[in-house]
DNA sequence: CTGAAAGCGCTTACAG
DNA sequence: CTGAAAGCGCTTACAG
């Protein structure tokens, strides 16, 4: 069934049907009523391929989510969708694998859907450097800084990863720990885990800074393990630390998911959190609060990241300049850190 | 940039370019090489709107996932994607909200993408009854039975929810528990939680059967709470049970996610699992194994569900008849159930 | 093996 | 306010 069937059945031309379907103002009430009745009766749905193929004007927003299973992003997406809807717009969400190229996907979306703007949840700096120049619409990168990328149509809303990780580290240091194992997150293969702009790299830099500031040596060889962003990865990494760094008294993981894995690894070695090993995560996902013991962590402000991301995108769509905003994090004191 | 640009630049006609792009056999090696070189040089990507609009023959498979955050489905999707790829096909994944209509989405996908077949992860029986008749391609419903729906093009691969829940219940009963609180899952509003074909309804039926079989009364008023499929929901439901059913010694939740919430609720009341309250979940998601204590649960066989789902779909695509297969579940003995 | 042309189902100036 | 027509970027019989 096509628009043509509706035209025949309603006695109007296809152009008029199209106008009704698109809420075009120049249509008589009579035509609108008649056509909508037929559309309803036949259960007609326009073919969006044809629509997008022809449509030149941009409509709706797109949200590109890097990492299907990312629990932090899951919360942000929901919040964004409802905010976009509240602003009277529609939103399409695209999920891609953690290791796929989000900018290439965005390029395709631009070509084929012509969105008013795009929100990126997470992003790999290299992908942006390489291909973002070809994206024309306003975009906001959420949870990752984009100020140093220097694109005029790319804003960002993020948490200060360096400061956040330093704050997490400070919790452990303040509690008297100075033998701290650290679990970093895997980025693009063979990148230096300690320098660079990806979130794990920034967080590890924060850990090191916090250490050095107190005159405590930071020895990656001994203290650091790199892991996938998964419970399984955290489990392995913590296991390795527990074995090879026996006088360690605390572990910091740069994501809660890995911390949850570490928690179980510690128990499986016959140790307890926080009695034997203190533990702190990062992100502040819902699950952290359901752990036993409740996980101490640094919470990224999901509501604000979503709200400001959408606000800035809407603003930029109206011709505003790119903005780079830092949203404050919050330290969550759970039950997983013990004073020495 | 369009196929026309490639045609001009390569000196061939658009038809030939299209043939090369679609791996059509009737193209000279010379033309193929020249055209691919230009495509590569210009970084051309065909517009899939135009492609799908014109294309009559079906290509690729679609996976429709009901519930963006469903951790059980997440594992299945990954497995399916790799199996479809191994079979030399492509797969598109569509995620929708738990409360959106998956069959309507499938209908749109059929109209616009013309897939060879569709895998549904989760499904609401009412939606299928109402609209699945309009879906023409072979489909497989995964994790939910479809045999009683009676559609010739709809197979299913699922776990026996009644037997699985009865097995979970038996673990508690065998351990000597006879005052068991039960957390059911929310379906379509104001449905009877105890009769019907949705997974929670079937699982609750299994719980009741297992109870009655031992001559133990099943009193929904006292024993049953209905909850959203979330940690938060499980937390609330368990809290309510703990307060209003004080001599309860065990809780069964029809999903692990709710069980994780219940676990924390029990601790927050100053009680311990399994010393004071035994706990068992359902599904066997990865997280259950990371809980402290490790969660006892009934595991759905994710690999087999994915494998058989894909196999049956491929088979049906070649003209096979609809098949309804039951995959055995496995009882996982964690650390969360104590013998009384 | 290749080209020219019709057409997929829409939207959108252009007339009237 | 409405209709007739061009055209979005592809694919696919149909000739040759």
pLDDT at position B99 is 85
* Residues B202 and B241 grouped into a single domain: yes
Task: Give domain status of residue B249, yes or no.
Answer: yes
**How far is the CA of A168 from the CAs of A281, B65, B131, B284, in angstroms?**
8, 36, 52, 32
Q: Mind listing the pLDDT tens digit of every residue in chain B (340 residues)?
A: 899 999 999 999 999 999 999 998 889 999 999 999 999 999 999 998 999 888 777 788 999 999 888 889 988 999 999 999 999 899 999 999 888 999 999 999 999 988 999 999 999 888 999 999 999 999 999 999 999 999 999 999 999 999 999 999 999 999 999 999 999 998 766 678 888 888 999 999 999 999 999 999 999 999 999 999 999 999 999 999 999 999 999 999 999 999 999 999 999 999 999 999 999 999 999 999 999 999 999 999 999 999 999 999 999 998 889 999 999 999 999 999 999 8
Q: How many CA atoms lie within 13 A of A66 on its CB side?
A: 25
* Interatomic CA distance for residues B241 and B262, integer angstroms: 10
Mean pLDDT of chain A: 93
> Which residues of the protein have their beta carbon within 7 Å of strand C?
A 2-4, 14-15, 18-19, 21-22, 44, 46-47, 50-51, 53-57; B 11-16, 19, 25-28, 30-31, 50, 53-54
Question: Which residues in B lie closer than 8 A to residue A264 (C-beta atoms)?
Answer: 289-292, 294
Asked if residue A172 and residue A153 are part of one domain, the reply reads: no
Q: Check CB contact of B49 with chain A, cutoff 8 Å.
A: yes
In a domain, A336, yes or no: no
Q: What pLDDT digit, counting tens, does each position of A291-340 carry?
A: 999 999 999 999 999 999 999 999 999 888 999 999 999 999 999 999 98
Please indicate, yes or no, if residue B340 is contained in any of the structural domains. no
In a domain, B289, yes or no: yes
The pLDDT, as a whole number, for residue B253 is 98
d(CA B289, CA A263): 12
Structure token digits, residue B307: 């494998």
CA atoms of B51 and B66, how far apart (whole Å): 27
Could you report the per-residue pLDDT of A143-197, keeping only the tens digit for each? Answer: 999 999 999 999 999 999 999 999 999 999 999 999 999 999 987 666 788 888 8
Cα–Cα distance, A219 to A181 (Å, whole number): 10
* Residues of the domain holding B235: 161-299
Which chain A residues are Cβ-neighbours of B287 within 8 angstroms?
Answer: 231, 260, 287
Half-sphere exposure of A303 (CA within 13 A, CB side): 2
- pLDDT above 70 covers a percentage of chain A that reads 99
* Contact present, A181 and A251 (Cβ < 8 Å): yes
Same domain, yes or no, for A173 and A290? Answer: yes
In this structure, are B287 and B183 located in the same domain? yes
**Residue B147 exposed, middle or buried by CB count within 10 Å (0-12, 13-18, 19+):** middle
Using a 10 angstrom Cβ sphere, with 0-12 exposed, 13-18 middle and 19 or more buried, the burial of residue B104 is middle
Q: Are residues A221 and A294 in the same domain?
A: yes
Inform me whether the pLDDT recorded for A219 exceeds 90.
Answer: yes
A vs B, Cβ pairs < 8 A, gives: 75
Cβ–Cβ below 8 Å for A232 and B286: yes
Q: Please report whether residue A291 resides in a domain.
A: yes
Q: Is residue A340 assigned to a domain?
A: no
d(CA B41, CA B6): 10
Whether residue A181 sits in one domain with residue A261: yes
Say if residue A26 is in the same domain as residue A132: no
Give all strands of the β-sheet with B224-227 in edge-to-edge order: B224-227, B180-185, B250-253, B278-280
> What is residue B190's predicted lDDT score, i.e. its pLDDT?
66
Cα A50 from Cα B112, distance rounded (Å): 9
* In A100-254, beta strands by DSSP E: 117-121, 139-142, 154-158, 180-185, 224-227, 250-253
Stated pTM of the model: 0.91
Q: How many domains does chain A have?
A: 3
Does any domain span residue B54? no
For residue B258, the domain's CATH number is 3.40.50.2300
DSSP 3-state of A5? helix
Residue B196 included in any domain = yes
Report long-range pairs for B301-304 (Cβ below 8 Å, ≥24 apart).
B301/B159, B301/B327, B301/B328, B301/B329, B301/B330, B302/B72, B302/B75, B302/B76, B302/B79, B303/B79, B304/B157
| DSSP assignments along A218-232, one per residue | --HHHHEEEE-SSHH
**Which residues does residue B120 pair with via DSSP β-bridges, in sequence order?**
B64, B141
Spanning CA of A3 to C1' of D12, the rounded length in angstroms is: 23
Q: Is the same domain home to B316 and B252?
A: no
Q: What is the phi-psi region of residue A43: left when phi exceeds 0, alpha when psi lies from -120 to 50, beta otherwise?
A: left
Spanning CA of A257 to C1' of D10, the rounded length in angstroms is: 45
CA distance B217 to chain A (A): 32
C-alpha to C-alpha distance for A80 and A77, rounded to whole angstroms = 5
> Which of B162, B165, B167, B181 shows the shortest CA–CA distance to B278?
B181
Distance CA A330, CA B201 (A): 41
Q: Is the CB of B52 under 7 A from strand D?
A: no
Let me know whether B67 and B175 are in one domain.
Answer: no
Task: Give the span between the Cα atoms of A176 and A249, in whole angstroms.
Answer: 10
Do B191 and B277 fall into the same domain? yes
Q: What confidence score (pLDDT) does residue B13 get? A: 93
Is the shortest CB-to-strand distance from B22 to strand D under 7 Å?
A: yes
Retrieve residue B309's tokens: 């789902």
Comparing alpha-carbon positions, the chain A residue that sits nearest to B290 is: A264
Do residues A13 and A105 share a domain? no
Both B134 and B194 in a single domain?
Answer: no
In this structure, is the CB of residue B26 within 7 Å of any atom belonging to strand D? no
Q: What is the pLDDT of residue B329?
A: 97
Q: Is B70 helix (H, G, I), strand (E, B) or coil?
A: coil
The answer to whether B325 and B156 have CB atoms below 8 angstroms apart is yes
Distance, in Å, from the CA atom of B316 to the CA atom of B146, rounded to the nearest integer, reads 15
């Amino acid at each position: 069934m096509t628009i043509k069937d509706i035209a025949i059945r309603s006695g109007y031309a296809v152009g008029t049907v199209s106008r009704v379907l698109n809420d075009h103002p120049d249509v008589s009430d009579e035509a609108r009523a008649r056509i909508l009745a037929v559309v309803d009766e036949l259960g007609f749905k326009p073919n969006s391929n044809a629509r997008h193929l022809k449509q030149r004007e941009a409509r709706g927003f797109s949200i590109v989510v890097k990492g299907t299973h990312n629990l932090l992003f899951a919360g942000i997406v929901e919040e964004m969708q409802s905010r976009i809807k509240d602003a009277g717009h529609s939103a399409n969400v695209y999920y891609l694998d953690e290791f796929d190229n989000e900018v290439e996907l965005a390029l395709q979306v631009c070509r084929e859907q012509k969105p008013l703007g795009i929100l990126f949840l997470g992003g790999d700096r290299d992908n942006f450097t390489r291909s973002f120049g070809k994206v024309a619409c306003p975009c906001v990168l959420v949870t990752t800084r984009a100020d140093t990328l220097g694109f005029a149509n790319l804003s960002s809303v993020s948490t200060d990863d360096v400061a956040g990780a330093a704050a997490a580290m400070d919790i452990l240091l303040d509690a008297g720990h100075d033998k701290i194992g650290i679990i970093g997150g895997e980025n693009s293969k063979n990148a230096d885990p300690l320098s660079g702009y990806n979130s794990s790299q920034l967080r590890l830099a924060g850990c090191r800074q916090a250490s050095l500031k107190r005159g405590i040596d930071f020895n990656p060889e001994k203290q650091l393990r790199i892991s996938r962003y998964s419970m399984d990865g955290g489990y392995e990494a913590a296991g390795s630390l527990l074995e090879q760094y026996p006088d360690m008294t605390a572990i910091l993981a740069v994501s809660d998911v890995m911390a949850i894995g570490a928690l179980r690894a510690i128990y499986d070695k016959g140790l307890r959190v926080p009695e034997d090993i203190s533990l702190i995560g990062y992100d502040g996902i819902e699950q952290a609060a359901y752990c036993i013991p409740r996980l101490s962590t640094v919470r990224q402000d999901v509501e604000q990241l979503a709200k400001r991301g959408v606000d800035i995108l809407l603003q930029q769509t109206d011709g505003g300049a790119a903005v780079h905003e830092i949203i404050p994090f919050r330290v969550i004191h759970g039950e997983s850190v013990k004073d020495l």
